[in-house]
Amino acid sequence: MKKINYVLIILSLLFFFFSSVAQNEKNIILSIAKGKITTPYYEKSTLGNFYNLDIDYYLTSRSILTSGFSIGNHKFFDPLYTGNGLPIYSDGTNAKAEYNTFILMYKYILLKKKALNIDAGLGVGIMTHLTQRLASITSTSGEYQFLLQQGFTDVVFPLKIDLDYKITSLLKLGVMSGIFIHPDFPIAGYNAGIKLSILVK
């Protein structure tokens, strides 16, 4: 918990620092995205749904401060919870993982054309990771199944690459891809999807 508190303080300091050094370019862009997420960490991980909301604050014409929130889930196979009548689904999985992540990120526009932008970003975030699967317990009165939920909240380091195409002066359509780095995994998940952005200021 102390580590998360330190990260929250660092995130706040970074936000105020970048805001204070912002130059004339102060556009704010709101982006929503839908895509797929999975991870190499779990066995037989499937592609699950992923949703992302970002607010981009332009510090300069190429530098962007981004705050965002994403949610996603996918299924996987946990070999520790098999047998005793526990179900294995048609895709070979028996468990589910969920991700809820808040991030603060610095992005830089690598390619800036009249209608096309490509940017890359690196940041820090806080992820709550939950897993659930059916488990069983045997007692003198019989065998019982129950839903076992486990999870943790910890610091992650997101990497992201976005491509945006300007449709109008206010709207952009693009694609996004990214990974969440965690020291214990080391890749907690990666994602890709389509995003829609609107200029709000």
Q: What percent of the chain has pLDDT over 70?
A: 82
Residue range 108-128: average pLDDT?
95
Phi and psi at 44, nearest 5°, equal: 55, 40
Distance, CA of 159 to CA of 143 (rounded, Å): 45
Task: Count up the domains in the chain and report the number.
Answer: 1
| Domain span including residue 99 | 2-199
What pLDDT score does 7 carry?
53
122: amino acid identity, one letter? L
Nearest to 6 by CA among 129, 154, 158, 122: 154
Which CATH number characterizes residue 95's domain? Answer: 2.40.160.20
Q: Evaluate if residue 1 carries a pLDDT over 70.
A: no
What are 54-96's pLDDT values in tens digits?
999 999 889 999 999 999 999 999 888 776 667 788 888 989 9
**DSSP code of 164?**
E
* Cβ atoms 200, 56 nearer than 8 A: no
What are 127-181's pLDDT values in tens digits?
999 999 887 766 666 666 778 889 999 999 999 999 999 999 899 999 999 999 9
Enumerate the β-bridge partners of residue 84: none
pTM for the model stands at: 0.83
Q: What is the mean pLDDT of the chain?
A: 86
Q: Which H or E run contains 193?
A: strand 187-199
